[in-house]
């Protein structure tokens, strides 16, 4: 399901990305809890976000990626996913 999240994000497909999440999914950015809908609207869909995955660990749930958007430019980021019942229940991202 993590790969589906990445693919949906890179396709700028909001419906597909939210379909990859549990109904009660949570997230944090640089250690600060965020509202997923607001954060993805600002950092992904409203800013043409794109992930280029550099490395994958822990069975596919920990990623290091070059994340680029029109708001912040390009930065090296880490992503940690918690998967439950085949969907992403939580993700944490921040600068790597």
pTM more than 0.85: yes
**Based on the structure, what is the number of domains in the chain?**
1
Contact 70, 56 (CB under 8 A): no
Range of the domain at 23: 2-95
3-state secondary structure at position 7: helix
Contact 77, 65 (CB under 8 A): yes
Average pLDDT over residues 23-49: 97
**At 6, which CATH number?**
3.10.450.50
pLDDT given for residue 89 in this prediction: 98
Distance, CA of 81 to CA of 66 (rounded, Å): 16
Distance, CA of 83 to CA of 96 (rounded, Å): 21
Q: How confident is residue 34, by pLDDT bands cut at 50, 70 and 90?
A: very high
pLDDT given for residue 43 in this prediction: 95
């Amino acid at each position: 399901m993590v790969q589906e999240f990445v693919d949906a994000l890179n396709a700028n497909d909001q419906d597909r990305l939210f379909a990859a999440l549990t109904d009660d999914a949570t997230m944090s950015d640089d250690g600060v809890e965020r509202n997923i809908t607001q954060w993805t609207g600002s950092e992904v869909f409203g800013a043409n976000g794109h992930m280029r995955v550099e490395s994958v660990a822990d069975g596919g749930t920990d990623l290091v990626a070059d994340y680029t958007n029109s708001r912040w430019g390009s930065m090296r980021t880490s992503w940690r996913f918690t998967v439950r019942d085949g969907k992403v229940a939580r993700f944490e991202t921040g600068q790597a």
